[in-house]
Amino acid sequence: MVGKGKEVAHGAVLMNYILTKEKAVFLRSNLLGDERDPDRIWALMQLHQINTRNLRKANHKIKNTAIEFEVSPSREESERWLPPDFDRLLDELLDELNRIDLSEKTGRKSSAHFDLRKCQFIAAIHYDSKSGLPHLHLGVNRIDMNGQALDCHKLGERILRAIHNINVRHGWELPEDIHEEHKKQIDEACMNALKKMRFFNWDVYGRILADSDLDLKVKRDSNGEVVNYVIMMGNSKFKASDLGKSRNLTAKNIEATWRKIHLQMEMERKAEEMKAQQNQPKPVLRPAAPNPMRPVIAVPTPAVQTQSARYTAKYEVNGKTIDIDIPQSIYDILKQNCQVPEDNDVATVDDVVKTAVLLFLGYVDAATTVAQSCGGGGSQPESGWGKKEDEDDKERARRCAAMAHNMCKPKQKVKYKFGR
């Protein structure tokens, strides 16, 4: 389970968001009677702030008069949970927040407690728009019933410690472990995106990450150049400086990382080609022994039988290994006739060739998977698609190359908006 909390200045917006978001389930209110209307709830909170103004120091101006909390259990932790389960979680959270004493760290007596039960608040269950997972939202009037403002110094640390204590009590995964796991997933998605790109482009980078349910948010300077970015995984934010290794995915270094990856890929491709050539069998020619004493009689010489060169490889598709073994001449025809569709900025020639090879060998489903993984979504082979009776292998190879080209065409263009 993870959680976060922050002060907010626009309480009316917060209350409306908590209670009117799509599929929101009202859970509980505190010191607000039976009121459910978000605008009236905020009006009651403001009225309390005004009526207790004389109980606070005259020079104590409070800019952020509301507090927002969000607590998200994992799928395993909240499996089969109903509203009463979230209600119990809320009670546990309220107890932990008040139990944590931060007065020594802040040097303020007011940091010794954080009693939300003395404050007006509303709580509701929200459901993530992508994963559908439920999580808890809490909107709090920062001014308690004594007219004093809750001390929000080190609020982030307070919520993290409260969540940590709850996780330990239930044997749930700790927030730091979850964060590290998500970081690894994002690192892998970023590196895979760079591998798929024929050239580096921020829009293409964001589009590929979106396929993994990641949201790229870029920051540009006055010249429109990207100077920084973050990646959102659900409600969790990951800075570019925290991703990858040795800051290799920062806005400053990411293009150099892309060049390094593709240089390595090219070297590996050439090494594979050299290995395939070295493994090709060479015919052994033995000269006939001279015999000048015998008359020369013309005898038909049988053709030397040599094993034709083969292209062999192992393709990994959907976690399965497919052994590839076709004549080198057929592979050459496939490679010569494969082209990347002009409107596909993700696919490479190798992707199209790989699709064509799988089609030639009859692996239609695997070929479809490869085409879709590199941005394809165009024409698909019809049922019964395969070798025709009067078709030789060379002609079929050309037909497979043409079909692979069509399969790697994008289905439709999707526009993505990126923040500035």
**Cα(399)–Cα(64) distance, integer angstroms:** 67
Q: Name the band, by pLDDT with cuts 50, 70 and 90, for residue 383.
A: low
Q: What is the pLDDT of residue 282?
A: 64
* Own/partner long-range contacts of 323-332 (Cβ < 8 Å, ≥24 apart): 324/357, 324/361, 326/357, 326/360, 326/361, 327/393, 328/276, 328/280, 329/394, 330/360, 330/393, 330/394, 330/397, 331/357
pLDDT confidence bin for 64, thresholds 50/70/90: very high
Which residues have C-beta within 8 Å of that of residue 269, sequence separation ≥ 6? Answer: 350
Q: Quick one: average pLDDT of 102-128?
A: 95
Average pLDDT (176-195) is 87
What domains are there in the chain, each with its CATH number? 2-173 (3.30.930), 177-257 (no CATH), 308-412 (no CATH)
Identity of the amino acid at 142: R
Judge whether residue 301 has pLDDT over 70: no
Distance separating alpha carbons of residues 312 and 281, to the nearest angstrom: 13
- Lookup result for tokens 């290794």: 245
Mean pLDDT value across residues 338-343: 84
Question: What's the whole-number mean pLDDT along residues 112-138?
Answer: 94
Rounded Cα–Cα distance for residues 76 and 214 (Å)? 21
Q: Look at residue 304 in the predicted model and tell me its pLDDT.
A: 45
What's the pTM? 0.51
Q: What is the pLDDT averaged over residues 361-382?
A: 83
Who wins on pLDDT, 387 or 408?
Answer: 408
Residue 40 is predicted with a pLDDT of 97
State mean pLDDT over 380-409: 83
Q: Is 23 exposed, middle or buried (0-12, 13-18, 19+ CB in 10 A)?
A: exposed
**3-state DSSP assignment of residue 249:** coil
- Inter-residue contact 60 to 123 (CB < 8 Å): no
pLDDT band at 317 (very low <50, low <70, confident <90, very high): confident
Q: pLDDT tens digit string along 219-239?
A: 999 888 999 999 988 767 889
Res 169 pLDDT > 50: yes
Q: Are 251 and 228 in contact (CB under 8 A)?
A: yes
Q: Are strands 320-327 and 66-72 parallel, antiparallel or unpaired?
A: unpaired
Q: How far is CA 36 from CA 15, 27, 70, in A?
A: 10, 11, 20
Q: Is the pLDDT of residue 210 over 60?
A: yes
Specify the residue for token string 């569709």: 341
* Owner of token pair 């090494």: 271
pLDDT of 50 strictly over 50 = yes
Confidence at 412, pLDDT banded by 50, 70, 90:
low
Condensed to tens digits (0 to 9), the pLDDT of residues 129-162 reads 878 899 999 999 999 999 999 999 999 999 999 9
Instruction: Give the separation between CA 374 and CA 405, rounded to whole angstroms.
Output: 12
pLDDT band for 305, please (50, 70, 90 cuts).
Answer: very low
